Amino acid sequence: FALRELFWKLIRFFYWGPVFKARCESVGKNLMITLLPHVSGPLRLYLGDNVHLNGFFGATGSRMFDNPILRFGNDVHVGHMVQFVVNKEIVIEDGVKIASNCSFADTDGHPLDPQRRANDEPPEPDSVKPIRICRNAWIGNGARVLKGVTVGEGAVVAADAVVVKDVPAFSVVAGNPARVVVEDVRLKAAGVL
């Protein structure tokens, strides 16, 4: 067991880490990865300090706009099997925790018009809307965050929620589509609610 663990640590340190860092625009201190992340397309990736990518991590950039950006702040933890589809910009601020099996996409991926879809045309450029996950938010297992959404500071997105509109700061949302189920987690934790 110890030899196997040593082998994987050496692979991460001498191969996966340098290969992934070379693909990024900037990388802060103490990056931790457990598997080689899969990054494709013309994506510009910025990572802050103490970013943890635990398991498979996928990020795809589109050619719809020049230089799509995926930006992680400091102390961001990302679970296994998390996917990002970036056409313009997705920002993950400091202290955000993202559980496993989550996905983020700043576009629908295909046009709404069936004829344009049949012709394999891209979506309209004005249908692409950036995503922002604010400081200390927590995205639960299997959640889907769709285009144009801002998840407020300290908010919680429950497991398997599909987020289609902004989430107020310090609230909890759940369901499909996600709705506010707790107005202010600070008051709930203090026993006021």
Specify which residues 78 forms β-bridges with.
Answer: 53, 98
| pLDDT score recorded for residue 191 | 62
Q: Is the pLDDT of residue 189 over 80?
A: no
Confidence of residue 187 (pLDDT cuts 50, 70, 90): low
77 catalytic per annotation: no
Taking the C-alpha atoms of 25, 84, 136 and 184 in order, what is their torsion angle to the nearest 10 degrees? 150
Specify which residues 156 forms β-bridges with.
Answer: 138, 172
The answer to whether the Cα torsion of 166, 172, 173, 179 is positive or negative is: negative
Of 28 and 185, more confident:
28
pLDDT in tens, 101-149: 999 999 988 888 899 889 988 888 888 999 999 999 999 999 999 999 9
CB 39 within 8 A of CB 21: no
Q: Which of 52, 77, 80, 110 is catalytic?
A: 110
Q: What is the CA radius of gyration of the chain?
A: 18
| pLDDT score recorded for residue 188 | 65
Confidence of residue 9 (pLDDT cuts 50, 70, 90): confident
Give the up-direction half-sphere exposure of residue 88: CA atoms within 13 A in the CB hemisphere: 16
pLDDT in tens, 30-89: 999 999 999 999 999 999 999 999 999 999 998 788 889 999 999 999 999 999 999 999
| pLDDT score recorded for residue 111 | 82
Distance CA 114, CA 130 (A): 24
pLDDT in tens, 144-166: 999 999 999 999 999 999 999 99
| pLDDT score recorded for residue 78 | 97
